[in-house]
A and B are shown apart, each in its own frame.
Chain A
Amino acid sequence: MQKPIPMPEELERRIEAIERNDAGDLNRASWFWLLLFGVAIPAALLLWGWWA
């Protein structure tokens, strides 16, 4: 059986701090901007460029 390798002290401290304080994920506004810039605008551009 493999022995667990101990983490460096500083790394351990960092992980503990991140586990205590999760920065959180994307919210509704983030998804709005992502869908606007990554889906809606490219789709509109492609349609316009094709028919122009």
Chain B
Amino acid sequence: MVGLSAEADKSAWPLLPSERDWGAWRLAIALATAAAATWCYIIGEYAGYYLNFLQASVALAAGCMIGMLLAFLAAGPVCARFGIDSIASTKPQFGARGWVIPAAMQLISIVGWNSLLLIFGAKSATQLMITLGIMPAGMGARELVPAATLIVCALIYLTLLRGATGVTRISNILAAHVPIGCWMLYLLVSRRWPELRVAQPVMASPDRLWNYTTGVEIGITATLSWWPYIGAMIRMAPNARIAVVPVMLGMGAATALLSLIGIAGILVLKSSDPSEWLRSVGGPIYAVIALLFVSAANFGTAITGIYSSAIGLRNFAAVERMSWSTLLLITIAPVALVGALIPELFFARFGAFLAFLGVAFAPLCGIQIADYFLLRRRALDIRAIFSGDPARPYRSIAGFNPAALLALGLGCAVYLELLNPLSYESSGPYRYLTASLPAATCAAACYVLLTRLIGLRSAKR
């Protein structure tokens, strides 16, 4: 972060080439820290409801890599090329005002993921304190979550007052969560292999293909929602070429790898949370070491999420001139409220949240990919993205591009038709195609068709 000015660090303005000094390793570490958090355990848990260990691992890994490919192709090339965040990259498709729709999706996604992290973190902290004898064994996460949430939010706020510098420093330390996670996985697999090998999923459908596809779908939706993180992180890289391998391995593969802990945990011990089973599997010393890292990893990921969200909000004219400290408060407040007021309810509805991510981000990625690679042939006007000049492109109709809005609507409808996010009831070709991939494809096709048919100026230039 040597050359990054304080102004650019805390704004949504494009970064200068001289400021984008993250190499492949540094980027991979930052991305791995962002992705490889305790949410991987719960992602793995959901795959483990439908599939045995081998099939869940394989389906989830494939899904994660496919989702990562889509999310990268949607935002990655533009963000890395111009040094902008994911939200700014949607202005060419959605219009000079229409980008508020992806911005709202980003906010909901980041609030959701970070609330989940904080709840998980509070549970880990409870187990840690019980293991250390600081808290009586009878006390649970229910009592601790609200207080822990507020404490962690305060720590995140203080760390991020320094801007992205805070993210970098934390990332360097907390990337250790990945090897620690591998060690926890080794511990569980090596000690419980005979049980793991024969363990059967509790919610498996009689349709074997449906179970397999659902494992893939869970992986795709989880990594599609890294879309906001991709832009905020890879804009620090000098170009998109450097970002490819770090994104695919640092984010996609790391998520798949750590999700194995959740799969193994739910299949053998009926809990995906290592803080609940580490004491019985590894003993108290192992438990303390691992729980410390799990708690710390939550903190690191939450920091990255809040930073990405704050940078995204900077695109709103109302907060453009707001002080960084006030913007941080606004960004953290919803996370603190969910974690403090409705933690258990949110935790119980994680499956619906995952499906919502697919409903929202799959069509968005499809539209962005079609726009950049097919319609614009990689030609973008960076000045128009930030200009308030009505004569510039990307204004469309009153700032909204109807082609993108209709395509997004169609993509969401296709997803909902194929998979009900609340009941997980499916229809049509879901078992062969997943729901995310057809939603992304239909949204992309609709966007291209409408743009070509109507000849919208905003989408052509």
Q: Which residues in A have some Cβ–Cβ distance to B below 8 Å? A: 1-2, 4-5, 7, 10-11, 14-15, 17-19, 21-27, 29-30, 33-34, 37-39, 41-43, 45-46, 48-50, 52
Is A25 touching B378 in the complex (CB atoms < 8 A)?
yes
Is B69 touching A37 in the complex (CB atoms < 8 A)?
yes
Known contacts A18-B382, A39-B66; can you find 19 more A-B pairs with CB under 8 A? Answer: A4-B391, A7-B388, A15-B382, A18-B17, A18-B82, A19-B383, A23-B17, A23-B81, A23-B238, A25-B77, A25-B240, A25-B378, A37-B248, A37-B249, A38-B65, A38-B72, A46-B216, A49-B57, A49-B59
Contacting residue for A42 out of B16, B20, B62, B83, CB 8 A:
B62
Q: Which residues of A contact B238 (CB under 8 A)?
A: 23
Whether A29 touches B241, Cβ cut-off 8 Å, given contacts A14-B8, A18-B17, A34-B72, is yes
Q: Which residues in B have some Cβ–Cβ distance to A below 8 Å? A: 7-8, 13-17, 20, 54-55, 57-59, 61-63, 65-66, 68-70, 72-73, 77, 80-83, 212, 216, 238-241, 244-245, 248-249, 252-253, 378, 382-383, 386-391
Whether A15 touches B65, Cβ cut-off 8 Å, given contacts A25-B77, A49-B212, is no
Q: Which residues of A contact B66 (CB under 8 A)?
A: 38-39, 42
Q: How far is the CB of B385 from chain A (nearest CB, A)?
A: 9
Q: How far is the CB of A38 from chain B (nearest CB, A)?
A: 3
Sampled A-B contacts (22; CB under 8 Å): A4-B388, A5-B387, A10-B7, A11-B386, A14-B13, A23-B83, A24-B239, A24-B240, A25-B81, A30-B240, A34-B72, A34-B73, A37-B65, A38-B68, A38-B70, A38-B72, A38-B248, A43-B62, A45-B58, A48-B58, A49-B58, A49-B59
Q: Which residues of B contact A5 (CB under 8 A)?
A: 387-389
Q: Which residues of A contact B55 (CB under 8 A)?
A: 49-50, 52
A1 to B391, CA, bound (A): 10
Contacting residue for B248 out of A22, A34, A50, CB 8 A:
A34
Main secondary structure of the interface of B (DSSP, over half): helix
Whether A39 touches B80, Cβ cut-off 8 Å, given contacts A23-B17, A46-B58, A49-B55, is no
Is A17 touching B17 in the complex (CB atoms < 8 A)?
yes
Smallest CB-CB separation from B219: which chain A residue? A42
Q: Which residues of A contact B65 (CB under 8 A)?
A: 37-38, 41-42
A15 to B189, CA, bound (A): 52
Closest CB pairs A-B (n = 10): A38-B69, A49-B58, A5-B388, A42-B62, A4-B389, A37-B248, A23-B239, A2-B390, A45-B62, A30-B244
Main secondary structure of the interface of A (DSSP, over half): helix
Whether A18 touches B244, Cβ cut-off 8 Å, given contacts A23-B238, A25-B378, A42-B61, is no
Q: Which residues of B contact A10 (CB under 8 A)?
A: 7, 13
Contacting residue for B16 out of A14, A33, A39, CB 8 A:
A14
Is A4 touching B58 in the complex (CB atoms < 8 A)?
no
Select the residue from A5, A14, A39 with max chain B CB neighbours within 10 A.
Answer: A14
Q: How far is the CB of A6 from chain B (nearest CB, A)?
A: 8
A3 to B163, CA, bound (A): 34
A41 to B63, CA, bound (A): 11
A14 to B250, CA, bound (A): 29
Is A26 touching B69 in the complex (CB atoms < 8 A)?
no
A45 to B59, CA, bound (A): 8
Is B16 touching A26 in the complex (CB atoms < 8 A)?
no
Whether A18 touches B83, Cβ cut-off 8 Å, given contacts A30-B241, A37-B249, A37-B252, is yes
Smallest CB-CB separation from B389: which chain A residue? A4
Q: How far is the CB of A29 from chain B (nearest CB, A)?
A: 7
Select the residue from B20, B58, B240, B245 with max chain A CB neighbours within 10 A.
Answer: B58
Whether A33 touches B389, Cβ cut-off 8 Å, given contacts A14-B16, A25-B378, is no
A18 to B68, CA, bound (A): 27
Q: How far is the CB of A12 from chain B (nearest CB, A)?
A: 9
Q: How far is the CB of A23 from chain B (nearest CB, A)?
A: 4
Is A46 touching B17 in the complex (CB atoms < 8 A)?
no
A10 to B391, CA, bound (A): 22
Q: Which residues of B contact A25 (CB under 8 A)?
A: 77, 81, 240, 378
Q: Which residues of B contact A11 (CB under 8 A)?
A: 13, 386
Is A26 touching B240 in the complex (CB atoms < 8 A)?
yes
